[in-house]
Amino acid sequence: MFPHYNYGGNSEYYIFVCGHCKNEKRVRKMPYTGNMCTYWSDGRIEACNDWQISYMQRCPHCGNYYFVDINEAERGFGSEPLDDGRVDIEEYAAVCSDREFMESLPPEVMSYLFMQYVQQYNDTYRRASQAEEEKKATYEQSRMFTEAVLFLTEFCRIPEILIADLYRQAGMFRKCLEYAADNYNRIKEEDLETLDRTRLLAIQGETAPFIIKREDMK
């Protein structure tokens, strides 16, 4: 973990350069939020420094999207920029529904974007602590959620427990239960409790992600 140092209002930030227009933007480093890491059943890991800065960035100058490698990014030091480097659900939806753009990307980038969409959707509409306003997803957004889940479960190498829970989150309860039964023997012993939770919630018709574990990072 990398603590967030802040000397008299100045702090370290990232400098990302747009591949289209070559202009740069400054993105602040996420504050250090604590020692606990929370693992969710949609793959979201909360409270880890830097993890919330999106790999995909939108250029404030030309409006195009580009990808950044945070570990390689140049860093600067000075007054903290306002931009936190996050991409919201509408922006992910716009990108994920742009077929031409998506098909031009390597498969691992496509799966990253769909995964981000799923987690962002859950952040916005379902994760209890952040969904207090009872915001409702649009029909188009929930359709995109299902499309993202189908892509992730069919074409990506992701753990079986994640696949089962993604089916559930997309409301495909029967498919979730069938998949869980068919793959039960392939699930690691320590993940069986999580799988059982997924099955129970599928039977109850619940779609929200749940917390798998909290871990002390010290």
CA distance 54 to 39: 18
> Which of 17/45 has CB closer to Zn ion?
17
* Residue 62: CB minimum distance to Zn ion, A: 3
Q: What is the CA radius of gyration of the chain?
A: 19
> Which of 25/127 has CB closer to Zn ion?
25
* Residue 21: CB minimum distance to Zn ion, A: 3
Query: Quick one: tokens of 64?
Result: 């195009």
CA distance 49 to 38: 12
* Residue 65: CB minimum distance to Zn ion, A: 9
Q: What is the DSSP string of 50-108?
A: TTTS-SEEE-TTT--EEE--TTT-EEEEEEPPS------HHHHHHHHT-HHHHHTS-HH
> Which of 94/208 has CB closer to Zn ion?
94
Interaction site with Zn ion (CB under 5 A): 18, 20-21, 59, 61-62
* Residue 57: CB minimum distance to Zn ion, A: 10
> Which of 61/214 has CB closer to Zn ion?
61
